[in-house]
Chain A
């Protein structure tokens, strides 16, 4: 029934688009173009019909001392599955698993190739200039692993300006002995650009919590030390050609605190990541050519001396992409690109030999009609070697299409349908013991439709966006087992739901008030299963809240801004048959920022108070989260005001 309703809705959208072509009177000419929210053409020019949420620069600045996990959990309907204050945090888009959520940095995937997931608690917001959330799968554009959505992060685009010098630094401190420092400097000439960013933090994270015996205690074994550095150099060869090199290294050393049922923990984890990216771009009169190559090395050490467990693995991922973008007139664009991805593991006892190769040809065509209708068609043919443990390559065709129609200046309708898939990861295929080399990729279709309503009246502005989505994934991979866990293709999962994004602003003299509300209603249920007498059929998949929402209310007054953020996360089932569940939780968070010019320097003061209602909650069962806590930072952009 849901499918029929959805198809009817799509038909209505298309009928509305056709009906609009019959207008025969001259209308006022207005030029509409989308604001470039990304340097990635896949987002800017070939995402018609997809919901994309751009995190604005003010919000990014407010969270510059935090990780992506904190930003996304408080500001987006994406469910961030956090294993405690000092633990792994993964993404759940619209009921997808962590491995079905792509994380893209400057156009390259950075999920750990062995695990297929990215720990967003180790991605510092400070490094990113643009952050976009792409909702829904689009494997044609983003490749394997983009089933539920994608987190797309970008660094600053090089600016070739000989008068530009920028230095900014900051330091912060907070509860639980948190301290952090940051530095960013950039210098450029007419032909070259260099920037360096460093972010370091330490924390004891010894917050108080109620332990298993009902007694208040301080969280033991939860120290964090991390340092991250990002270097970026670019050279403008001539007016058309630019090359750039980016290196991002980070090291996170974390103690893993005990779960509530554990009497103690001596677990430690060290994550080191090196990401190198070389990029060439050639600007053409009607488009551009580009090529990029990257090497990502993720190393992880895990030690639990209590059970004599010592693990060390290093996984490499080479990714290259060559592409050509062409524009014809003002309405037609074509993007053709060839991504190649090689993943392999440093041989170890757990995985003596494991590699995977993916080669694809992808294309997207976008057409703008009557300055109202945007249509995008895209497709990817991808070959994986060796899928399923044999040496023969298997090909997959991943088509997709999207349409957006501006029905009125204040109302835009959109819809899209995409084939989506996720290839099994190296761990799923080869981990010893338990890997299953006969796994098939998860695949299915993802469809969504919605509208955006934008209006302004005097001092009011109003924004409302609604998305309805549905997705069927076959051969869903789940790890199961008693002594030895093994992944199996065991289920078909149907996800569907409604998301809204709403805000209003009101200007009263120098004061701008804002009120925003994001809501998400997600049903992600097992549609069918190979398991005998499976009790999970028809039940919500674990750790997918049906309801979650975020409210933001605040004001900006000159260089002062204050925001109250309130989040609600509904019941999460922790078993596949809904027999166990976790209570909903709400958190209240306040962000304050103030900028002040002193001589030629711009000073920023940021203060945050998180969980101000001191809610006792857990995101993942038996992993308590901290109560009320604060964070304060002071930063300066040297000479920024003069420039």
Chain B
């Protein structure tokens, strides 16, 4: 019997020795960049995972730094960083699912304060003491004072899901990305009142921006909800529709941006919910039709989710979010579409901000 127990003991010791892989992961250090021109990469993280992060790429050094917020503040930023704006000497970070705008120094990225806003999406700077913040799901635009980091007012909107905004000659144009919405709203920034509702020939306006001829472009539609996408060019002075480009029913164009000259539009287009047929498309502002082929085609099973065009060099930046649950990769192309470099950033790169 003693022999049996001895054998049993040997078995147990053998078993205990079996597992030997080191469990503790390697420690990652985040570096802060030296002074210079930064291409910020806004990384959403995975929804509900709280891995929003901010990276900075310095094209001159071909170096990437981040997570800046975590490195500077010793804590995670929050959940789903959607966009950012540079106002004065501070960066205003819209952290959507954490329902706050985090304000950090533009030089050392240390947190200066937060502004509580429900599901902030985009921030439109109006002056040193005024900015608008759109708010997902809500029927309002928040008015904030960037200097005091306070909410100073609310503009009630006719539709829900305030989203993209654009400032033109003292008026703000606001999209409400709700499928019930068929108007672009014009707000007098002096009075914070809606002064005009511009009818659109499409549902769910999402993004609005200005071209070099001071004409507005609106990307509308919500393909997953069966509202086909449209690209609309209109005159901001009178709301006249100048051109309309209708996408196929299964196309889902996202993240439109313009080049530095503001004469060419770039956007990502995704078929089959993002996994196939994806790519970067571009078109001039006077094109008669949408481009049929991507300017830069995506690889199979690549999830492109961020797009930017360097206003100075014209380089094209695309962010591959992969499965949103790992570090994303940014690919840089020359303005001719030739690959130049790539680097890894935080999970879910969603936007670029050229802080020049």
Taking Cβ atoms with an 8 Å cutoff, the residues of A that contact B are: 212, 259-263, 306-309, 410, 433-434, 436, 451, 453, 455, 457, 460, 462, 464, 466, 478, 480-486, 488, 490, 498, 500, 502, 519, 521, 523, 530-536, 542, 546-547, 570-571, 573-581, 584, 621-622
- Alpha-carbon distance A523/B19, docked complex (angstroms): 10
Taking Cβ atoms with an 8 Å cutoff, the residues of B that contact A are: 1-2, 4-5, 8, 11-12, 15-16, 18-19, 21, 23-25, 28, 44, 46-51, 75-76, 78-79, 98-100, 116, 118-119, 136-138, 160, 224-225, 254, 273-275, 298-303, 305, 320-327, 329, 344, 347-348, 350
Contact indicator B19/A455 (Cβ below 8 Å) = no
Cβ distance A7 to chain B, nearest Cβ, rounded Å: 18
Given contacts A462-B5, A533-B329, contact A490 B323 (CB under 8 A): yes
Cβ distance A460 to chain B, nearest Cβ, rounded Å: 8
Contact indicator A480/B99 (Cβ below 8 Å) = no
- Alpha-carbon distance A263/B305, docked complex (angstroms): 27
B8, B99, B160: which contacts A464 (Cβ < 8 A)? B8
CB neighbours of A212 from chain B (8 A): 75
Given contacts A263-B100, A484-B273, A579-B347, contact A306 B301 (CB under 8 A): no
B15, B299, B327: which contacts A498 (Cβ < 8 A)? B15
Contact indicator A308/B160 (Cβ below 8 Å) = yes
Residue on A with the closest CB to B302? Answer: A532
The binding surface of chain B is classed by DSSP as loop
A262, A307, A453, A575: which contacts B326 (Cβ < 8 A)? A575
Contact indicator A410/B98 (Cβ below 8 Å) = no
Residue on B with the closest CB to A523? Answer: B21
Contact indicator B11/A482 (Cβ below 8 Å) = no
Cβ distance A449 to chain B, nearest Cβ, rounded Å: 13
Complex A-B: 24 CB contacts under 8 Å: A259-B48, A259-B50, A261-B98, A307-B119, A307-B136, A308-B137, A433-B225, A453-B8, A457-B1, A462-B5, A462-B8, A466-B15, A478-B323, A486-B275, A498-B18, A532-B301, A532-B322, A533-B302, A535-B322, A573-B25, A576-B323, A576-B326, A577-B327, A579-B28
A307, A481, A530: which contacts B324 (Cβ < 8 A)? A481
- Alpha-carbon distance A570/B273, docked complex (angstroms): 36
CB neighbours of B298 from chain A (8 A): 532
In the complex, besides A261-B79, A533-B302, 12 extra interface pairs with C-beta distance below 8 angstroms are A307-B119, A433-B225, A455-B1, A457-B1, A483-B224, A521-B21, A534-B322, A535-B326, A546-B21, A547-B19, A580-B347, A584-B23
Residue on B with the closest CB to A545? Answer: B23
- Alpha-carbon distance A453/B4, docked complex (angstroms): 10
- Alpha-carbon distance A336/B8, docked complex (angstroms): 39
Contact indicator B324/A482 (Cβ below 8 Å) = yes
Contact indicator A263/B47 (Cβ below 8 Å) = no
Given contacts A457-B1, A488-B275, A490-B301, contact A466 B11 (CB under 8 A): yes
Cβ distance B140 to chain A, nearest Cβ, rounded Å: 12
- Alpha-carbon distance A546/B5, docked complex (angstroms): 30
- Alpha-carbon distance A570/B22, docked complex (angstroms): 11
- Alpha-carbon distance A299/B274, docked complex (angstroms): 31
B100, B225, B273, B327: which contacts A535 (Cβ < 8 A)? B327
- Alpha-carbon distance A219/B273, docked complex (angstroms): 38
Contact indicator B302/A484 (Cβ below 8 Å) = no
Contact indicator A482/B348 (Cβ below 8 Å) = yes
- Alpha-carbon distance A307/B117, docked complex (angstroms): 12
- Alpha-carbon distance A262/B12, docked complex (angstroms): 46
Residue on B with the closest CB to A520? Answer: B19
A262, A453, A483: which contacts B98 (Cβ < 8 A)? A262
CB neighbours of A307 from chain B (8 A): 118-119, 136-137
Residue on A with the closest CB to B255? Answer: A482
Cβ distance B139 to chain A, nearest Cβ, rounded Å: 9
Query: Ordered nearest first, which 3 A-B pairs have the shortest CB separation?
Result: A577-B326, A433-B224, A521-B19
Given contacts A486-B273, A621-B49, contact A532 B300 (CB under 8 A): yes
Contact indicator B76/A261 (Cβ below 8 Å) = yes
Contact indicator A481/B274 (Cβ below 8 Å) = yes
- Alpha-carbon distance A142/B328, docked complex (angstroms): 39
Cβ distance A456 to chain B, nearest Cβ, rounded Å: 9
Given contacts A433-B224, A547-B23, A571-B25, contact A580 B51 (CB under 8 A): yes
CB neighbours of A573 from chain B (8 A): 25
Residue on B with the closest CB to A455? Answer: B4
Given contacts A436-B273, A482-B348, A547-B19, contact A531 B8 (CB under 8 A): no
- Alpha-carbon distance A536/B138, docked complex (angstroms): 37
- Alpha-carbon distance A221/B160, docked complex (angstroms): 26
- Alpha-carbon distance A569/B47, docked complex (angstroms): 25
- Alpha-carbon distance A417/B48, docked complex (angstroms): 38
CB neighbours of A523 from chain B (8 A): 21
A451, A480, A577: which contacts B303 (Cβ < 8 A)? A480
- Alpha-carbon distance A261/B76, docked complex (angstroms): 9
CB neighbours of B28 from chain A (8 A): 579
Contact indicator A261/B119 (Cβ below 8 Å) = no
